[in-house]
Amino acid sequence: MMNQKNIIIIMVDGGRLDRAQNSNIFKKLKSKSIFFSNSITYGPHTIAAMHAVFSGSYGSRTGTNSYWSTFKFKKNKFKTLTEYLKTKNYTTHADVINQLVVPKQGFDNYVVHDESKDDLVKRHKILLEEMNQKKSNNNFFLYLHYSKIHTGIMNEVLKIYDNYSNDFFSNKEKNESRYDNLFQTAESYLDEILIKISQLELDKNSIILVMSDHGISVGEKLGERAYGAYCYDYTIRNFAYFLVPDSNPLEIKQQIRTIDYMPTILDFLNISLDKSYSNLDGISLLPLIKGKSISEPYAFSETGNPLKDKAPPKEPNTKSIRTSKWKLIFNEYNNTKELYNLQLDPNENNNLIGTGEKIEKKLWAELQNLINKRD
């Protein structure tokens, strides 16, 4: 569809879909972009989520499926988005929250900011200016990680409460307010960054993806005070807005997965997949964007529930498979299952497992296929 475009990913760590949908700044963004309103993350925590985005594949195959497995990423089998762009002579730069969150291979510069001290608005505006000055030589890929929601949750929730603190779960209004204040800082950041992009006219020659990696709990389910413990929709639904030059605004309501972003970007750029590497789990969404009908793939998510432990387990023990209408969750840690009709029960309160729903058996078989799929 197009080539010779810069790629900018603005990642809002811990950005909830419902807040984006109610935000005036995000509504303005939606009016200019291709918005995927039913996007599902592979991992409801950053490391697994972002390795899946960059590889177009599930962590169950790439090796990065938990908080502890950044260094298990099978870089000889999975070529990252950055590496693909590097082969096309892109200048590549990442500004990240820590050394573990996205694969390093292919980046010319991989810089860690201080999430507690750095002014990310100022820092990222300067980066945009620097990349814009370099672009006369070749195109660039810039990954900007907005970490302040994470920082606030770390300081105000993770350090104060545990996953079963009555003080947290009995104060939903306080939790909502805390999160809303953090999200508002993200809105301000995004507004300023998008204005800067427009001033530099980078929106005319760049594909820009504004996304979140996962959502964050405001106390919906006892046992998860933040994220990464369960596979419920408040953390596994994320947002994705693609700003593409010369394209009309569009909302796509069909379920897609975060593993689909990478093949979509490569398709936009006419970059072919490297057959010497493993096949992707994700698919290009370009046909969907062009108005063609494509069948909806299942979305697989998994995480490691710490239960009463302070640290998550080394391997995932909570797994889910999702369609637009149904979700099946398998809790390996106690061998229980949950089945939800998402259209009738979006808050996942009414567990239909064992009630005779025909879909249960099919979803269980498909989930086992995904769990057992190895490279």
Q: β-strands 34-40, 256-257: how paired?
A: parallel
pLDDT band at 1 (very low <50, low <70, confident <90, very high): very low
What is the structure's pLDDT at 375? Answer: 75
* Mean of pLDDT over the chain: 96
What is the structure's pLDDT at 2? Answer: 55
Mean pLDDT value across residues 32-39: 98
pLDDT for 134 beyond 90:
no
pLDDT in tens, 188-214: 999 999 999 999 999 999 999 999 999
pLDDT for 253 beyond 70:
yes
Distance (Å, whole) CA 327 – CA 304:
18
What is the structure's pLDDT at 373? Answer: 83
Mean pLDDT value across residues 270-295: 96
Query: All domains of the chain, ordered by start, with CATH?
Result: 6-289 (3.40.720.10), 299-372 (3.30.1120.10)
What is the structure's pLDDT at 136? Answer: 63
Lowest mean pLDDT among 2-11, 36-45, 169-178, 186-195: 2-11
What is the structure's pLDDT at 180? Answer: 98
